[in-house]
Structure 1
Amino acid sequence: MSTPLSAIQKAGLLDQFDSAFLLMDFDRLDNRLAQLLSAFSSKARHAIAIKTNPMKSVLSHIVQSGLMLEAASFEELVLAEESGAKANQLVFDSPVKRVWELEACARRWPGMVVNANNLTELPRLAALSELSIGLRINALVETTAHEHYNVSHVSSKFGVPIQQREEIIRACVEFPITGLHMHSGSGVTGALDNVPAVEKIVALAEEINRVLAAASIERRIDFLDIGGGLSASVDQEEMRIYGAAVSAIPYLEKYRIITEFGQWVHTPIGSAYSVVESVDGVGKFRPQAYLHLGADFLMRHIYSQPRKLQFNVYDRHGLPKDRGECFAIDLVGPLCFAGDVLAENVLLPVIDEGYWIEIADVGANTYGLWSRHCSRAVPKIISCQQQVYKIEQERAVIPF
């Protein structure tokens, strides 16, 4: 019985120093992108969040598939360009942008979308006619996002609160704004949570366009960037229902639509594998398996635990261990602090030194959040497409 791990071992892609590695499945990525495209109108465009998984070969694959990339920093824009993205495939959403960065955007990527985070940013964009300028609006809606990732409250640092309606409309008259942008939060488990926010943004765009027409200004709000934020737990049918609900909003068809999904796309495409360095249970409440991946790779999980991780056990040859009889064990990471614990009291088959643990569905907010704590190397990254495995990035020590 062949598994991805045994196939990778047989192909000789691991050496004695590879105590862990990451696996990116491009077939799963293609499937996820196809689901996203089918859920929305064919006129909608989709900018996939770079920060969620900034691996260059993944970004290149997305670009080659005809989708856009959403950057949260100027450095991510450069990474997108290096991955093959053109100006019409770029959205820049950083809440903190330098003047020189905006000017560089206008020179290097004329026509790209730049979303201003607040009203005070607009004067910096006023003379940059080469850019397609959006204004981020905080729609002030309730969602199922975790409090750490909820950006739709009145004290959020993101966007202009929609209750500042007069100021927003006045800004859209004064400055060359052609789009509105919104994003309510990340890890939203309710597929329809964002619909009220989109409805508010559409109504606001309609009002702005009426004011522009009354003022004899030819410019209009013509695109709506409705963000993303859905949890990977939202399944294909729920995504289809969300896309249909958005498409049914009155007057939405007037506008070009951009989405910005990240974790929903990336989570299922990535798995991580670690050798079990040792198992120790002497004098402890439960046995502990010591792994080579922990809070360095799973920082978000360790600190906020947004979901339970799924683990699979393989023997030294990469073959799966039978789950017929399982025992309680703790899985702990390699970092020198007490909180580096991946799971406690998890039921798994008997684990021995030299076995492998797979952590499934960790393609989002993991590699991109890699921690330098304890100065451990970033593991080798391997890709899979149509059962062909290849090394995308060698194990790398971060220079300090």
Structure 2
Amino acid sequence: MKSVLDEFTLRQILGNERSVIIHDIDELVEKIKSMKQIFGSQFQHCLAVKSNPIIEILKIVVEFGMGLECASEEEVHLALAAGCVPKLILHNGPAKSQAEIDRCLSIGISFVLNDFIEVNRVASSPELSKSSSSIAIRINPLVGGGTIEKTSVSLNDSKFGFPVSLEKEIIEYYEKYSWLNGIHVHSGSQGMSVESLVKGVSRMLKIARKIEGFRGEKLDWIDIGGGLPFDYRVGRTSPSHQEYVNSLKQTLPDLFDGRVVFTEFGRSIMASNAIAVSRIEKIWLRDGVQHLIGHLGSDMFIRWALNPDDWHHRISVTSESPNVPTVVHGPLCYNGDKLGGTIDLPSAKDSDLLIYHDVGAYTISMWSGHCNRARPKVIGLSNGETKLLLQGGSKDSILKMWST
């Protein structure tokens, strides 16, 4: 988060809340503008809604020309509520029912089809003949699992897409169905290198060229997915959008020959735009280690808490005391609710605040209801002014969720 907030401002924004998330809206807008300039006008960028589904955030990215990539019909509903036009909403979910496909075809939502079942469901839909939907088949490029296998979608057992080994069958679908007017690839998220992402695009583009060869014309659109990794650690070395574009241009110059190319970034656009702030509820020392309990833990950082070798966030404390070995605990009722193992943080007192950095993506959107704690309020910061982006949960909202 580029905006530098002093402790007084943090306390003003926190108010009487236990915790709060603060989004730098100016940084988000700056990133969108920069990305559009780097990639060029033939690229249509979409935000992965699952990275941050807050409606007020989605409205901002739509206002600045982005589409929205959705992993469920519920996310399609969010995208429409944010004012996104149907043709720039990409429904990418792996569990599309026939009824869901029919509804989305009826309003012109764009589709990425994961398997022959979804292709056949579209083909049999009574809505297809009158639909304006753009439709693509998803390719699994089989480039491997990267450094985080669970977020890769490029292994042979993936539920996402047609493996490139089925090239003959893929091409036959394009020969049979003229309404297939695009093609898609996505190799994975966070654990994939730029080289792996480019290799995935290359394997998809090879099939696209063959389709275009027998059709005698270019496909209307190509989708190269997202997945650009973000380094959460101190001294980060995240690859930039410029590095990705440079690699694509060097390896696949014909990708830039005028086709409409979609992207589906999430983390690389959203992650660094936000921080979270929490009161320190308890402090104790044991065997020379400082233990802090804050109001955010695996309810918001479930991947980090359960798999700290692969996932990470930086934490700081509003204290200028010397560093000591520290364990940061969350508020949930199980012993694994710890963030990052033993780390060095300043010696803290009850009045200090915990700051969790780079929380703009895959945090509040993955909120866990374990122990029924209410999610935090989300505040936007722009030109020095604050704006409510998401009302925090409450005891009443929890009661409503579990009532008839």
Query: Taking structure 2 as the reference length, what is the TM-score of the superposition?
Result: 0.89
Which residue of structure 1 aligns with residue 248 of structure 2?
246
Are 1:348 and 2:345 counterparts? Answer: yes
Q: In the alignment, is residue 163 of structure 1 matched against residue 165 of structure 2?
A: yes
Q: SS where residue 106 of structure 2 aligns?
A: helix
Deviations 1:147-185 (Å, cap 9, x if unpaired)? 110110111111000111110010111122111111101
Residues in 1 aligned to 2:237 and 2:47: alpha-carbon distance in whole angstroms: 18
* Deviation at residue 362 of structure 1 after TM alignment: 1.2
Relative to structure 1, the CA distance from residue 115 to residue 5 in structure 2 (aligned partners, 3 Å threshold; closer, same or farther) is farther
Could you tell me how far apart the structure 1 residues matched to 2:274 and 2:342 are? 24
Alpha-carbon distance in 1 for matches of 2:313, 2:199: 31
Query: Structure 1: which amino acid aligns with 2:246?
Result: A
Q: What are the within-5 Å matches in structure 2 for residues 336-375 of structure 1?
A: 336-375=333-372
Per mean C-alpha deviation after superposition, the further-off stretch among 386-395 and 21-30 is 386-395
Of residues 191-200 and 47-56 in structure 1, the stretch that sits farther from structure 2 once superposed is 191-200
Q: Which residue of 140, 143, 151 maps to 2:142?
A: 140
Contact 2:218 2:259 in 1 (8 A): no
Of 137-146 and 180-189, more deviation after overlay is shown by 137-146
- What secondary structure is seen at the aligned counterpart in 2 of 1:3? coil
1:76-91 equivalences under 5 Å are 76-91=75-90
Structure 2 distance, partners of 1:28, 1:21, is 18
Q: Deviations over 1:177-236 (max 9, x none)?
A: 1111111011045223211111111111111122234xxxxx752211100101123868
- Which one of 312, 316, 324 corresponds to residue 308 of structure 1? 312
Q: 1:62 to 1:5 in 2, by over 3 A?
A: farther
Does the C-alpha gap of structure 1 residues 242 and 120 become closer, same or farther in structure 2, counting only changes over 3 Å? same
Paired residue secondary structure (1:287): strand
Q: Partner letter of residue 273 of structure 1?
A: V
1:1-400 to structure 2, matched below 5 A, reads: 3=5, 5-10=7-12, 13-16=13-16, 18-108=17-107, 110=108, 112-126=109-123, 127=125, 128=128, 129-142=131-144, 144-175=146-177, 176-188=179-191, 190-213=193-216, 221-233=219-231, 238-248=240-250, 249-252=252-255, 253-282=257-286, 284=287, 286-305=289-308, 306-314=310-318, 321-322=319-320, 325-397=322-394, 398=398, 399-400=401-402
CA distance in 1, matches of 2:34, 2:53: 21
In 2, the alpha carbon distance for the partners of 1:115 and 1:391 equals 34
Whole-angstrom distance in 1 between the partners of 2:274 and 2:338: 20
Where 2:245 maps in the other structure, the secondary structure is helix
Residues of 1 paired with 2:134 and 2:92: CA distance?
12
Q: Secondary structure at the match of 2:169?
A: helix
The Cα shift of 1:44 comes to 0.4
Contact 2:229 2:239 in 1 (8 A): no
Distance in 2, Cα, partners of 1:295 & 1:277 = 16
CA drift at 1:343? 2.9
Q: How far apart are 1:266 and its partner, in Å?
A: 1.0
Structure 2 unaligned blocks of 5 or more: none
Give distance in 2, aligned partners of 1:124 and 1:146: 32
- Cα-to-partner distance string for 1:86-135 (whole Å, 9 max, x where unaligned): 11321110011111211111222x2x320111122112212514211100
- When structure 1 is superposed on structure 2, of 96-105 and 298-307 the one drifting more is 298-307
2:42–2:259: 8 Å Cα contact kept in structure 1?
Answer: no
* Cα distance change of structure 1 residues 72 and 5 upon mapping to structure 2, 3 Å threshold: farther
Q: Relative to structure 1, is the Cα distance of residues 44 and 19 closer, same or farther in structure 2, using a 3 angstrom cutoff?
A: same
Q: Which amino acid aligns with 1:350?
A: S
Kindly indicate which of the two structures has a greater share of residues assigned to helix.
Answer: 2
The answer to whether the 8 A contact 2:42-2:258 is kept is: no
Provide the rounded CA distance (Å) in 2 between the counterparts of 1:380 and 1:392: 8
Structure 1: runs of 5 or more not aligned: 214-218, 315-320
Q: Distance in 2 between matches of 1:349 and 1:375?
A: 31
Root-mean-square deviation (CA), in Å? Answer: 2.0
1:20 and 1:274 in contact (8 A); partners too = yes
Q: Percent identity?
A: 29
The 1:250/1:382 distance shift into structure 2, 3 A limit, reads closer
SS of residue in 1 equivalent to 2:50: coil
Cα 1:45–1:143 shift into 2, 3 Å: farther
**2:51 counterpart SS class:** coil
Tell me if the contact between 1:40 and 1:244 (Cα under 8 Å) persists in the aligned partners.
no
TM, length-normalised to structure 1: 0.90
- SS of the residue 1:115 aligns to: strand
Counterpart of 1:277, as a letter, is: E
Contact 1:271 1:363 in 2 (8 A): yes
